[in-house]
Chains A and B, each alone.
Chain A
Amino acid sequence: MARVHSVLAASVLLVATAIDSVAALPRKLASSVERLKAVGPEGQGNVVAQAAWNDVAKAKASQIPDLIVAMDGANDYALNWIRAAIEAAVQRETVAGSKLSVKSLETVLRDTRHHPRARRLAFELMQRVDASKAQAILPDFLQDPGSEMRREAVAQLMATAARQTNGTKATAVTTYRQALGFSREADQIEDIAKRLQDLGDKVDLAKTFGWVSKWQLIGPFDNTGEAGFAKVYPPEERLDLGAGLTGKSGPVKWFPYETRSEYGLVDFNQAISSLKGAVGYATAEFWSDSARTAQVRLGCKNGWKVWVNGALIFGRDEYHRSAEIDQYRMPVSLKAGKNILLVKCAQNEQTQDWAKEWEFQLRITDEQGTPIVSTR
């Protein structure tokens, strides 16, 4: 699993932008910020960061926008260190009567080269200083690369649509449709779809989410005592869709399966049989126009593993706790042309009513959640 861990860890380390993020800060402050940015997994750098944090927390109001910019290139641990220091500095400066520059904060916010979380912090500080101004500029962020800004802008548009339902329904539908086009958050998409349905406009949820819907399935293999999760069955070693294999209770072979579920569910109970203590595999071709980074987004309440082009990207042996859309978001690199997805989905032997599901849903998206669909 070490490789899986490193892939996940890499996903949080946003590569530093072309901007020298601490260049605008005085040397001592810049040095302290760099020490905060040096923190890492398992508490690495915490001791050094403690002292540095106190230095950064002494920043003046005029230095806050530059400190926010200095968050560029920080990992997720360091972002929290820097954020907390900025909050402490802002609190002290506010009590002292020093004002933050809304203009400078807005400049940081509008520069999409900065870290999305840094820009979000700039926005939240703007809200504290000039709430009406912050509210007024929200529509400019409907296509923001940062999920928090984009979500709030979409929420504002949804509120507009809700008000319009008191007037001409067609206007409200148009606005909700706009919101749907901008939204990248599953719960928000479902909310908009429901409101549109109430207005008589049906949303094709499957298309909106962009599920991978055409698969080849095989199974069942044995998962008695949940031992099958770790066992390497032939599909993990070599994918041969023409091969007949020996399954849990006899010969098994690959067969085509296309989900018609608006939530993209690949349902082994329906496709194979309602079984306990069983493993199923699903594979799909995914064609990409170019080599690119993407995310595999999976929802599953069974044990599962996912491979892309033969490489295991993650796996999890938790059964029947819960599932939701985009439950697991895993960064991947797609090749130009054909990519091969392989999913292992393991059902255990629980007998409760809430332990029946043996299924998953999967889509490929960009970092913001925009669906990427196979070109073939």
Chain B
Amino acid sequence: MKLSLLLTTALTLAGSLGAADWTQFRGPNGDGLSSDTGVPVRLDPSSITWSISLPGRGFSSPLILGDKVFVTAGSGARQDRLHVLCFRVTDGALLWERQFWATGRTMTHEKIGAATPTPASDGKAIYAIFSSNDCVAVDLEGRLLWFRGLGRDYPNASNSLGMSSSLVVVDGVVVAMVENDSESFTAGLDARTGVNRWKLDRPKKANWTSPVVFKSPGQPNRVLLQSSQGVTAVDPTTGKIAWDLSDGASTVPSLVVSQGKLVIPANGITVVEPTAGDAKPKSVWRSAQLRPGTASPVVVGGRLITLNDGGILTCADAQDGKRLWQLRLKGSFSATPVVAGGHLYCVSEDGRVQVVDPSKAEGVVVSELTLEQTVIGTPSIASNSLFVRSDSRLVRLGGAALR
């Protein structure tokens, strides 16, 4: 009896998410916040626990599940070799690697590449999509569960500048935004088999934003799709539209959900609050002064932070959008800031990690570490560490102690 209970417990744990896992773009809740409190604040060269070379370029965030880090990469002259790699958290040792040949178009702007979208995980598998719209599912041991060539299945679904929308997985469905100027759609793929559960026609306009899961107690989950036309909430199990906001929105930075409100990069920043049922959300406030660049907004301690491409960090009161302070960081930015222990971790394109305390009357850079690598992708946080994926390496900062 005891043995059976132990086995059941072990099996349950094997297929579940740990509290501190980083399972998608901007973390488990898609808001850039980590519950880890031991990430180093005072960074210096000794903060680098390990740094390993990767077999290809990449701009996606690492996923961290338990003692494993998962990374995607693209290699080859045409970025047509797609990699999913698994490393050990403690020492960066390679545990397994799977490679795939792209079946869709791989052309991108030179600043990005095939491995730009961030994978997602439900704790059972890693779901990875690439700019070619090839989508794969592998379990945590590297067993291939399914492969989809969405760019092959739908041959005009591509963007000659590259695709970057990350995946989310919710209610057994992997949501892939394949939104572009031509054959534009978002698909709900069955997480177990990869086949279409639904496929929704979307605005014919290039879109680099990522879907966001909206969870509300007692309400069915919704996936929020942001586009040039606005924000659309869909039922992840059916693809049925629940509500629509049609005031337009950015096609680069993605909205974030904070305290039940949607902080949308639209006409500056627009904040709305969904109401009970599927009624249209009500407007809360709007500010044209807050203008995120490529990086998505983040909310920490009641403060809304935006970062533009030139490194201007702007802090506003999340309640009303009133601007509190601005701080110029060093460098240009594409990566979204992530948060641990109340501190912002901002990584510039030239690999400068700047730790900012946003809680004071003015923003303060607490410490800075230069990795001297090109970083476009958003870092990840787990195991009391910051994981930075540069275009050639994976670096772990902090968290030297074993979990």
Residues of A within 8 A of B (CB): 1, 4-5, 8-9, 12, 39, 41-44, 46-47, 49-50, 53-54, 57, 76-77, 79-81, 83-85, 87-88, 91, 117, 148, 151, 185, 187-188, 301, 314, 316-319, 321-324, 327
Number of interface residues, chain B, beta carbon within 8 A: 41
With A316-B156, A317-B181, A318-B182: A77-B103 Cβ-Cβ less than 8 Å: yes
Are A321 and B149 in contact (CB-based, < 8 A)? Answer: no
Are A321 and B160 in contact (CB-based, < 8 A)? Answer: yes
Once bound together, how far apart are the Cα atoms of A81 and B148, in whole Å?
10
Segment from B3-11, B57-65, B192-200 that makes contact with A? B192-200
Produce 1/0 per residue, B137-160, CB < 8 A to A: 010001111111100110110111
Are A318 and B181 in contact (CB-based, < 8 A)? Answer: yes
Once bound together, how far apart are the Cα atoms of A85 and B98, in whole Å?
9
Once bound together, how far apart are the Cα atoms of A314 and B196, in whole Å?
25
Query: A76 — which chain B residues lie within 8 A by C-beta?
Result: 101, 103, 149, 152
Query: B152 — which chain A residues lie within 8 A by C-beta?
Result: 8-9, 12, 41, 76-77
Query: B98 — which chain A residues lie within 8 A by C-beta?
Result: 84, 87-88
Are B155 and A47 in contact (CB-based, < 8 A)? Answer: no
Are B96 and A322 in contact (CB-based, < 8 A)? Answer: no
Once bound together, how far apart are the Cα atoms of A35 and B194, in whole Å?
17
Nearest B residue to A53, CB-CB: B144
Are B193 and A322 in contact (CB-based, < 8 A)? Answer: no
Once bound together, how far apart are the Cα atoms of A324 and B190, in whole Å?
35
With A50-B145, A87-B98, A322-B107: A43-B156 Cβ-Cβ less than 8 Å: no
Are B99 and A321 in contact (CB-based, < 8 A)? Answer: no
Closest 8 interchain pairs by CB?
A43-B195, A321-B160, A322-B160, A318-B181, A84-B144, A46-B146, A43-B194, A80-B100
Query: A301 — which chain B residues lie within 8 A by C-beta?
Result: 160
Are B160 and A42 in contact (CB-based, < 8 A)? Answer: no
B109 close to chain A: CB less than 8 A:
yes
With A47-B193, A316-B182, A321-B181: A12-B103 Cβ-Cβ less than 8 Å: yes
CB distance from A11 to the nearest CB of B (A): 10
Are A39 and B147 in contact (CB-based, < 8 A)? Answer: yes
**5 A-B pairs (CB sep. < 8 Å):** A9-B152, A46-B146, A85-B144, A91-B142, A322-B160
Are A117 and B101 in contact (CB-based, < 8 A)? Answer: yes
Nearest A residue to B82, CB-CB: A80
Once bound together, how far apart are the Cα atoms of A368 and B149, in whole Å?
23
With A41-B152, A76-B103, A185-B77: A91-B147 Cβ-Cβ less than 8 Å: no
CB distance from A113 to the nearest CB of B (A): 20
Residues in B154-195 with C-beta less than 8 Å from chain A: 155-156, 158-161, 180-182, 189-190, 193-195
Are B160 and A323 in contact (CB-based, < 8 A)? Answer: yes
Once bound together, how far apart are the Cα atoms of A76 and B150, in whole Å?
12
Where chain A touches its partner, the secondary structure class is helix
A42, A83, A316 — which one has the most chain B CB atoms within 10 A of its CB? A42
Residues of B within 8 A of A (CB): 76-77, 96-101, 103, 107, 109, 134, 136, 138, 142-149, 152-153, 155-156, 158-161, 180-182, 189-190, 193-196, 204, 206
Are A84 and B100 in contact (CB-based, < 8 A)? Answer: yes
Once bound together, how far apart are the Cα atoms of A47 and B136, in whole Å?
14
Once bound together, how far apart are the Cα atoms of A320 and B149, in whole Å?
25
Are B100 and A42 in contact (CB-based, < 8 A)? Answer: no
A91, A316, A318 — which one has the most chain B CB atoms within 10 A of its CB? A318
CB distance from B95 to the nearest CB of A (A): 9
Once bound together, how far apart are the Cα atoms of A5 and B183, in whole Å?
12
CB distance from A362 to the nearest CB of B (A): 17
With A50-B145, A53-B143: A324-B107 Cβ-Cβ less than 8 Å: yes
Are A46 and B181 in contact (CB-based, < 8 A)? Answer: no
A4: which of B109, B153, B155, B206 is its contact (CB, 8 Å)?
B155
A46: which of B77, B96, B147 is its contact (CB, 8 Å)?
B147
CB distance from B269 to the nearest CB of A (A): 25
Nearest A residue to B84, CB-CB: A84
Query: B136 — which chain A residues lie within 8 A by C-beta?
Result: 80
Once bound together, how far apart are the Cα atoms of A85 and B99, in whole Å?
10
Are A81 and B144 in contact (CB-based, < 8 A)? Answer: yes
With A9-B152, A80-B147, A88-B142: A322-B109 Cβ-Cβ less than 8 Å: yes
CB distance from A328 to the nearest CB of B (A): 8
Query: B190 — which chain A residues lie within 8 A by C-beta?
Result: 43
Query: B77 — which chain A residues lie within 8 A by C-beta?
Result: 151, 185, 187-188
Once bound together, how far apart are the Cα atoms of A50 and B147, in whole Å?
10
Query: A322 — which chain B residues lie within 8 A by C-beta?
Result: 107, 109, 160-161
Once bound together, how far apart are the Cα atoms of A319 and B159, in whole Å?
10
Query: A9 — which chain B residues lie within 8 A by C-beta?
Result: 152
CB distance from A255 to the nearest CB of B (A): 30
CB distance from B204 to the nearest CB of A (A): 8
Query: B103 — which chain A residues lie within 8 A by C-beta?
Result: 12, 76-77, 80
Are B147 and A319 in contact (CB-based, < 8 A)? Answer: no
A4, A76, A81 — which one has the most chain B CB atoms within 10 A of its CB? A76
With A46-B194, A324-B107, A327-B107: A81-B99 Cβ-Cβ less than 8 Å: no
CB distance from B228 to the nearest CB of A (A): 14
Query: A80 — which chain B residues lie within 8 A by C-beta?
Result: 100-101, 103, 134, 136, 147
Query: A318 — which chain B residues lie within 8 A by C-beta?
Result: 158-160, 180-182
CB distance from B115 to the nearest CB of A (A): 16
Once bound together, how far apart are the Cα atoms of A204 and B158, in whole Å?
33
Are B96 and A91 in contact (CB-based, < 8 A)? Answer: yes
Once bound together, how far apart are the Cα atoms of A79 and B136, in whole Å?
13
